[in-house]
Chains A and B, each alone.
Chain A
């Protein structure tokens, strides 16, 4: 207990310190890239609970992300003219601690609404497998986008940022999010994931991934665990949505369509399915890479990005980390791998990367 408390205090202290540094020293463009990277870390690591741990192929993470964003934004805008009316000053600003409480409430609401949607999406997974589940989750994601496009109170296709209550000034989504909150939630989702991985529940998840029939025969309630994975994953995606809404202060339905879902899946697979540190690194890499390429390649940046993605998958078919976590042993193994790279590349044309790849299966 003491060790955990100390860890929590140190973590919060470090984040607050970094928050101060980031907000005073860094250009706003870089801050936005850093915040986006953090939000995608939350999304990718939470999707890893479903895709990586439990082996259910979900292609609808952006749907939960969107639901969370809209629910949270609705709370902080419509709340300003009702429940939280007295929390705001006359000029629309809010004190830092009331703002923090409001953001936590918004994140909770976004997470819970998304989690309820997660139950709905988790239910088909009890019946459908593999690619069929993938297309159904993708379909639900698109349905969510179409519905958001048709809710006029939430801006519809124009996007949601401002409401115009009668007899009052227009009210916008308050910019409550910050480096501290984004990375605190990222840290929490990583810690939760790692704890699950090394717990009995994690073993149950992974047993379902490896062989569902065998897992059921061993007495694992597969229904319960699959729904749990979906709900937990959707909750964190909703939290990420709440953070996104209060970072950008303008959300449009198309920012949550299946293209984003596919992006998140790419982060998970590229980082290494089932590896928590891998997915986090994959998320940071794929958010930062297009921005870095912006400088040196300009028009060609997305071409280079796509080419790099293909090359990475050809060179590392199991993702950067595979099932492993980032550790010293892993780094040592990689050094050995680099020494034998020329030999393995010779097998590239023969349809496989390393001669032992087949035997591993």
Chain B
């Protein structure tokens, strides 16, 4: 096999790695960006909702296996449980912690969100809940470890499945936001809360629905992470992934839904490329964590409101 062909294959491999990592970032980033759109709040607890989602998937799938249910059904049940469970969790968080401070100064809800995040992590790490030990998810889907071959390229089925899942979820989200009445209401609330309420939109319901949708996406990302990435899960999983996802949301222009998806994919690709090729330009792989932030800073200095964000015009 000629060298250039081999190099091409390695490159494609890195692209798939980047896209599958980026898919997780994108799904979490969407929750950040939607909540920011309606409330102008950085929901720090969002990464922890993702963590809870991965644990729900882990436990439900484990219970199903013990009951000798077929793999695909077990996967479907774990997916449904993680998605719906996290959605409901998001609504409860909004109702108890964010609603009372909605009209307070801007940073108050932020600190409350940090408090909620700490609360979820520290409850999760207790012995009776998820426990302090990291868990290694058993292969939920039968695709585990298999490779798919085409045109001389071998890719793990799991990565491709992860990307396909994300595309489907993004399509569903796109449909809800642009083609349904509740989606129209969401867009109206994020444009102007007061005017939307004058048009007869129930702001509280729409905000709750936004939290449900965002947290459900985080839950499904949790399922995908636990089922398909072969990385162990622990109670503090939400911190690094939430941070990267939030960075992705800002990169795409926070509040902008396509921007969050794009930002997530860019972050994933950038990290995979540095891990794969960084050593060629004397950047060791240990710097891959910093790369996403360097990309972010460079892009923000060129486009101060993100890739797809609209620059706000300041009226005096």
Contact = CB atoms under 8 A, between A and B. Distances in A.
Q: Are chains A and B native binding partners rather than an unrelated pairing?
A: yes
Interface of A: 57, 124, 127-129, 131-132, 134-136, 138-140, 142-143, 146-147, 149-150, 213-214, 217, 258-259, 262, 265-266, 269-270, 273, 299-300, 302-303, 305-307, 309-310, 313-314, 317-319, 348-349, 351-353, 357-358
Contacts of A259: 239
Contact of B296 (A139, A306, A310, A314): A139
B100 A136 contact: no
A317 B301 CA distance: 33
Given A143-B290, A303-B122, A351-B103, A136 B300 contact: yes
A145 to B, nearest CB: 8
Contacts of A128: 300, 304
Contact of B287 (A146, A265, A307): A146
Interface of B: 36, 42, 44, 97, 99-105, 107-108, 110-112, 114-116, 118-119, 122-123, 126-127, 239, 243, 246-247, 250, 254, 284, 286-287, 289-290, 293-294, 296-297, 300-301, 304-306, 314, 316
Given A306-B119, A314-B100, A146 B290 contact: yes
B11 to A, nearest CB: 25
A258 B244 CA distance: 12
A150 B250 CA distance: 27
A353 B316 CA distance: 31
B103 A358 contact: yes
Contacts of B314: 213
Contacts, number: 129
Given A131-B254, A309-B115, A149 B286 contact: yes
B199 to A, nearest CB: 20
A303 B124 CA distance: 10
Contacts of A349: 100
A143 B296 CA distance: 11
Nearest to A304: B122
Contact of A270 (B101, B104, B111, B126): B111
Given A142-B293, A150-B284, A150-B286, A348 B108 contact: no
Contacts of A139: 247, 293-294, 296-297
A317 B99 contact: no
B297 A313 contact: no
A240 to B, nearest CB: 21
Q: In terms of DSSP, what is the predominant structure of the interface of chain B?
A: helix
B118 A317 contact: no
A299 B127 contact: yes
Contacts of B127: 299
A258 B108 CA distance: 19
B107 A269 contact: yes
Contact of A303 (B44, B126, B304): B126
The 8 closest A-B pairs by CB, nearest first: A317-B104, A139-B293, A306-B118, A306-B119, A310-B115, A309-B115, A146-B290, A302-B122
Contact of A146 (B36, B286, B304, B305): B286
A262 B111 CA distance: 9
Given A143-B290, A348-B100, A306 B122 contact: yes
Contact of A140 (B100, B105, B123, B293): B293
Given A313-B112, A353-B100, A357-B103, 6 more contacts: A139-B296, A269-B107, A269-B111, A270-B111, A299-B127, A358-B103
Contacts of B287: 146, 150
Contacts of A302: 118, 122
B301 A124 contact: yes
Q: In terms of DSSP, what is the predominant structure of the interface of chain A?
A: helix
B216 to A, nearest CB: 23
B104 A318 contact: yes
Contact of B112 (A134, A310, A319, A351): A310
A313 B108 contact: yes
B245 to A, nearest CB: 12
Contacts of A217: 316
A317 B101 CA distance: 7
A132 B123 contact: no
B115 A313 contact: yes
B300 A132 contact: yes
Contacts of A143: 290, 293-294
A306 to B, nearest CB: 4
Residue among A138, A269, A303, A309 with the highest chain B CB neighbour number at 10 A: A303
Contacts of B97: 310, 314
B247 A317 contact: no
Contacts of B284: 150
B105 A314 contact: no
A318 B290 CA distance: 34
Given A136-B297, A351-B99, A351-B100, A314 B289 contact: no
B290 A132 contact: no
A319 B115 CA distance: 14
Contact of A258 (B243, B294, B301, B316): B243
B286 A306 contact: no
Contacts of A127: 301, 304
Contacts of B246: 135
A147 B284 CA distance: 11
A213 B316 contact: yes
Nearest to A146: B290
Contacts of B36: 131
Nearest to B110: A269
B104 to A, nearest CB: 3
